């Protein structure tokens, strides 16, 4: 039986024994996500969308094998460690144009998937045209998406653009190891790219057993955060857990009455195959429940974009 360590005992451990960060593995990150999306689609009211996103993840895996993101320099790594900042931030730095080639590849993959709905095909072809004729407009949209700004963002194109950016930053992160990242970085953001987490996962097995890791939706890096701690404001006193009646025991929403925010937390002990981006996307009903209870998400899921004007 798995032993869940209480908060005080976790803090008293030698933290060198608990992996501080878990870096993504190029061979499996999108493969695992695609498999999980297909599994979740089998019993979901949004099965068609989840299956489409599974095909998209297949395309992401293929793109990651074909294209290489630039390698971080020793100077970038040293500067990040000196200042306690993410070495490859998603905001405020220029991107290599290879990310657009990744987008082209993902779109080509989706277009050739059999039984793709006609409305989706129209979107894919329209985006390909913009790639060819209006690349600067896509760069501006990418900037907006990465910064969480929905001004000028087309919600139908956003998941596709984010998919390419995921490939790009995951490709960057896959070349790092734990020792490349600063020991101390700003609370609540990915230590590799500075993005906000999409959710957290309580892992099982080995030195990770019973430990909670925040999951980056952009570069797929995970970082340790002590359990029963608000991932927004670090409060530890006003934490509560919510679930849907008769729903999966592997899914909870961790809320904080200090900041009135929440994020989902997934338990690998209850479902070995939980995958933060996929499971977050498939559990929108829990988001509805939390919204009705007066709690707010700090950020959304990169594979489902809704502008504030439409919300």
Residue 24 has a pLDDT of 97
Residue 298 has a pLDDT of 81
Residue 153 has a pLDDT of 81
Residue 151 has a pLDDT of 76
Residue 9 has a pLDDT of 54
CA–CA separation, 110 and 56 (whole Å):
6
CA–CA separation, 181 and 81 (whole Å):
6
Q: Which residues have a Cβ under 8 Å from the Cβ of 285 and sit 6 or more positions away?
A: 244, 247
Given a contact cutoff of 8 angstroms between Cβ atoms, the answer to whether 213 and 22 are in contact is yes
Residue 111 has a pLDDT of 96
For 14-71, give the DSSP string. -TTSS-SEE---TTTHHHHHHHHHHHHHTT-TTHHHHHHHHHHHHHHHHHHHH--PPP
Q: Could you give the residue ranges of the DSSP H alpha helices within 155-239?
A: 158-173
The architecture of the domain spanning 25-173 is Alpha-Beta Complex (3.90)
Residue 307 has a pLDDT of 55
Residue 5 has a pLDDT of 47
Task: Classify each residue of 64-102 as buried b or exposed e, where b means 16 or more C-beta atoms within 10 Å of its C-beta.
Answer: beebebeebeeeebeebbeeebbbbbbeeeebeebbbbb
Residue 17 has a pLDDT of 76
Residue ranges of the chain with pLDDT lower than 70? 1-16, 306-311
Residue 98 has a pLDDT of 97
CA distances from 253 to 110, 194, 196, 270, 300 (A): 32, 23, 16, 15, 14
**CATH 3.40.50.300 matches 185-297:** no
Scan for tokens 């297909």, then name that residue: 38
For 219-252, give the DSSP string. T--EEE--SS--TTT---SSEEEE--TTS-TTEE
What is the dihedral angle through the alpha carbons of 66, 216, 177, 91, rounded to the nearest 10 degrees? 80
Residues of the chain with CATH 3.90.1670.10: 25-173, 185-297
| Torsion over CA: 301, 272, 261, 184 (sign) | negative
Q: How many CB atoms lie within 10 A of CB 180?
A: 21
Scan for tokens 């005080």, then name that residue: 8
pLDDT tens digits along 47-59: 999 999 999 999 9
Residue 3 has a pLDDT of 45
User: Encoding tokens for residue 158?
Assistant: 């956003």
């Amino acid at each position: 039986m798995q032993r869940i360590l209480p908060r005080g005992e976790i803090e008293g451990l030698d933290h060198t024994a608990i992996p501080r960060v878990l870096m993504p593995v190029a061979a499996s990150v999108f493969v695992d996500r695609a498999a999980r999306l297909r599994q979740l689609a089998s019993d979901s009211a949004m099965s068609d969308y989840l299956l489409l996103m599974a095909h998209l993840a297949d395309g992401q895996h293929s793109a990651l094998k074909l294209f290489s993101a630039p390698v971080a320099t020793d100077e970038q790594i040293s500067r990040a460690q000196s200042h306690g900042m993410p070495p490859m931030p998603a905001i405020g730095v220029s991107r290599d144009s290879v990310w657009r080639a990744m987008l082209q590849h993902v779109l080509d993959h989706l277009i050739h998937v059999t039984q793709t709905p006609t409305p989706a095909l129209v979107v894919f072809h329209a985006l390909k045209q913009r790639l060819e004729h209006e690349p600067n407009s896509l760069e501006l949209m990418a900037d907006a998406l990465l910064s969480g700004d929905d001004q000028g963002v087309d919600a139908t194109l956003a998941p596709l653009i984010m998919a390419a950016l995921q490939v790009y930053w995951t490709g960057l992160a896959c070349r790092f190891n734990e020792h490349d990242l600063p020991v101390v970085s700003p609370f609540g953001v990915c230590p590799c790219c500075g993005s906000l987490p999409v959710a957290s996962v309580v892992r099982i097995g080995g030195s990770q057993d019973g430990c909670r890791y925040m999951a980056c939706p952009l570069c797929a890096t995970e970082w340790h955060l002590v359990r029963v701690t608000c991932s927004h404001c670090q409060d530890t006193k006003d934490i509560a857990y919510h679930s849907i009646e008769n729903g999966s025991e592997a899914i909870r929403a961790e809320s904080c009455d200090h900041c009135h925010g929440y994020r989902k937390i997934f338990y690998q002990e209850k479902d070995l195959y939980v995958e933060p981006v996929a499971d977050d996307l498939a559990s929108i009903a829990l988001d509805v429940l939390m919204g009705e209870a007066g709690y707010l998400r700090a950020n959304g899921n990169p594979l489902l974009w809704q502008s504030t004007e439409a919300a």
